[in-house]
């Protein structure tokens, strides 16, 4: 088998991006996969998927801007590029930044212009070529000449397209059949779609439905085999070392071998959830660090409401005799500070996979195996009124909302369908744009990340609440780039400050405390809904309104 040059992968990527037909894209990808040497499959499949085999490289956008002229002729192989990136990713210690820059320069200096474009997309996590996981699964099936459903099933269980590609292309269907649910190997979690209210959610799931409290915590997947416990994030990062209190609590559960799906969160002394950023910060800073998540679309720009914090000592293990309140929190007064796990699904128990069982079977097994104090609040709704009551109770307990579930649905690994539907209150504010940052990657050349401000009626100025680049279509990016160039009063290189005149309607999930911003608060998961050319800045929402929402007392609609 011939050695595949990296320029061939770059050419395939460009051809896939320029091709609109699904069948044609699959044929292009399959052709490239067939040509890969067995030792190049993992890296080559990753490049075709628009990602790197290495999850963390230490390379940021600043490093990618300062690069040498492209090589005149192609010389790099897939294996050479993979080895170079692996070496760059391993650099650490004193002087690491200079060494990484030198190695990165050598790699880019050996790359032609098309190869440099591919490398920029891979390092930045912004390769837009239209080769989603589903498309690549079909390409793997075509290249390996195995049924597409077999590949898709293996992908769901492995959660890693690179592993599936290697198995299919080296061992065919028999090798794919060996990929099954294994304790200790994380799998992509089932996800929930969204609905504006419980009535719409029930239309999707049908009745009777199960209503779970949506906790204001972090998603965790816990694997236990005897005393060995591993904890993974939604993105399949291993955070076991960060959560010793969760590990201890899971070890205390009456289980031998299991895979559990749930959330972890911090509670105060009354049993109510602490602010979300405290939970996420505790998971991010306690113990050893796990691989970082890839940058989000938007070039690694900061979303509104990200702030560090700390928490106290671990909490005690909940007793088996305790029962959850509707909020999913034990009725006793737990000690504050420790992250506590609460589970809502059971995927494997003592050698038996439960993925394909209906929810009611999995949840019955969960109830029999895990004490109620370690499970989320759960009820059955046969009417909209019952679901609405559960939703109101969850919000009153300080939680995010509810997830309404079809009890007959299997666990649909890695997919977001209508079997689980989340309902959360949606807040909106009319805010003023104070500054805008230049975008990176695909948004290079556009003003992208918005600095948002609320009106301060006391000073007559504006109080910054954070940033967001979410919800911006290409059309909006073009419009706002022209608009904010007109309003710019200073260009700082990273972006521009603007006259505080443009009002934008922002949707967000909540308000959290933040030491980063002068108002002491920031918006959670802020996203742009629309620009309000009909509203002057003097009618934008005030910082007092924002603080009232954060305190759980939003003003009545006017």
pLDDT of residue 227: 94
Domain with CATH 1.10.3260.10 in the chain: 6-177
User: Does a cis peptide bond (omega within 30 degrees of 0) precede residue 208?
Assistant: yes
Residue 321 confidence (pLDDT):
26
In angstroms, the CA 126 to CA 13 distance is 13
CATH code, 191-274+311-423: 3.30.470.30
Q: Give the gyration radius of the chain's Cα atoms.
A: 25
Residue with tokens 């009618």: 539
Under CATH, to which class is 427-550 assigned?
mainly beta
pLDDT of the residue at 514: 81
Domain 6-177 - what CATH class? mainly alpha
Instruction: Supply the residues annotated as catalytic.
Output: 214
**E strand or H helix that includes residue 343:** strand 339-349
Instruction: Tokens 């959610």: give the residue.
Output: 201
CATH 2.40.50.140 region(s) of the chain?
427-550
Cα 279 to Cα 321: distance, rounded to the nearest angstrom? 26
140 Cβ neighbours under 8 A, 6+ residues apart? 30, 33, 45, 151, 161, 164, 165, 168, 169
pLDDT at 305: 36
Note the pLDDT of residue 303. 38
Local structure of residue 44 (DSSP, 8 states): H
Helices (H), 133-275: 133-144, 148-158, 161-177, 198-205, 244-251
For the stretch 442-462, what's the b/e string if a residue is b when 16 or more beta carbons lie within 10 angstroms of its beta carbon?
bbeebbbbbbbbbbeeeeeeb
Tens digit of pLDDT at every position of the chain (558 positions): 567 899 999 999 899 888 888 899 999 999 999 999 999 999 999 999 888 888 778 887 777 888 899 999 999 999 999 999 999 998 888 888 889 889 999 999 999 999 999 998 888 776 666 556 678 899 999 999 999 989 988 887 887 888 999 999 999 999 999 888 889 888 889 999 888 889 999 999 999 999 999 998 899 999 999 999 999 998 888 999 999 999 999 999 999 999 999 999 998 888 888 877 678 777 764 433 333 333 332 333 333 433 322 222 222 222 222 233 334 443 333 334 588 999 999 999 998 999 999 999 999 999 999 999 999 999 999 999 999 999 999 988 888 889 999 999 999 887 788 999 999 877 788 899 999 999 988 888 899 999 999 999 888 889 998 899 888 888 889 999 999 999 999 989 899 999 999 999 888 877 888 888 888 888 888 888 888 877 888 888 899 888 888 776 555 544
- Give the pLDDT score at 337: 52
From-to residues of CATH 3.30.470.30 in the chain: 191-274+311-423
């Amino acid at each position: 088998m011939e050695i595949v040059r990296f320029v061939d992968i770059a050419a395939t990527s460009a051809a896939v991006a320029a091709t609109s037909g699904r069948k044609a894209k699959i044929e292009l990808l399959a052709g490239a996969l067939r040509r890969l040497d067995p030792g190049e499959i993992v890296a080559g499949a990753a490049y075709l998927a628009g990602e790197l085999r290495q999850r963390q490289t230490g390379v940021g956008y600043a490093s990618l801007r300062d690069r040498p002229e492209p090589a005149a002729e192609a010389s790099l192989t897939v294996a050479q590029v993979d080895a170079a990136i692996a070496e760059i990713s391993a650099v650490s210690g004193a002087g690491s930044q200079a060494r990484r820059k030198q190695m990165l320069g050598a790699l880019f200096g050996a790359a032609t212009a098309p190869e440099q474009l591919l490398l920029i997309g891979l390092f930045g996590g912004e390769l837009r070529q239209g080769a989603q996981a589903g498309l690549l699964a079909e390409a793997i099936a075509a290249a390996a000449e195995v049924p597409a459903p077999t590949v898709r099933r293996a992908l769901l269980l492995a959660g890693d397209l690179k592993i599936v590609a290697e198995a299919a292309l080296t061992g065919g269907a028999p090798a794919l059949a060996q990929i099954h649910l294994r304790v200790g190997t994380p799998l992509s979690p089932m996800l929930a779609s969204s609905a504006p209210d419980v009535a719409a959610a029930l239309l999707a799931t049908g009745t009777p439905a199960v209503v779970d409290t949506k906790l204001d915590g972090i998603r965790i997947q816990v694997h236990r085999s005897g005393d060995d416990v591993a904890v993974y994030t939604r993105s399949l990062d291993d955070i076991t070392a960060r959560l010793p209190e969760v590990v201890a609590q899971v070890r205390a559960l009456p289980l031998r071998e299991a895979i559990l799906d749930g959330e972890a969160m911090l509670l105060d002394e009354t049993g109510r959830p602490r602010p979300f950023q405290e939970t996420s910060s505790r998971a991010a800073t306690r113990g050893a660090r796990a691989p970082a998540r890839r940058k989000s679309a938007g070039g690694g720009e900061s979303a509104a409401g990200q702030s560090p914090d700390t928490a106290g000592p671990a909490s005690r293990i909940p007793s088996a005799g305790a029962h959850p309140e509707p909020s999913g929190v034990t009725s006793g007064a737990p000690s504050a500070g420790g992250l506590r796990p609460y589970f809502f699904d059971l995927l494997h128990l003592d050698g038996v996979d439960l993925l394909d069982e209906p929810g009611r079977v999995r949840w019955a097994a969960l109830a029999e195996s895990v004490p109620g104090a370690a499970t989320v609040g759960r009820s059955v709704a046969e009417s909209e009124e019952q679901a609405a009551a559960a939703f109101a109770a969850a919000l009153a307990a300080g939680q995010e909302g509810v997830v309404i579930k079809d009890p007959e649905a299997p666990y649909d690994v890695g997919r977001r369908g209508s079997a689980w539907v989340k309902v959360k209150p949606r807040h909106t504010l009319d805010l003023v744009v104070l500054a805008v940052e230049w975008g990176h990657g695909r948004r290079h050349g556009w003003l992208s990340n918005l600095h948002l401000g609320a009106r301060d009626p006391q000073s007559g100025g504006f109080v910054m609440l954070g940033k967001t680049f979410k919800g911006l279509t290409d059309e909006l990016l073009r419009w706002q780039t022209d608009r904010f160039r007109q309003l710019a009063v200073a260009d700082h290189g990273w972006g521009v400050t603007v006259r505080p005149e443009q009002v934008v309607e922002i949707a967000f999930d909540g308000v959290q405390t933040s030491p980063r911003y002068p108002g002491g608060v920031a918006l959670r998961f802020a996203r742009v809904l629309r620009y309000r050319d009909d509203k002057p800045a003097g009618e934008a929402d005030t910082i007092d309104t924002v603080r009232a929402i954060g305190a759980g007392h939003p003003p009545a609609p006017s």
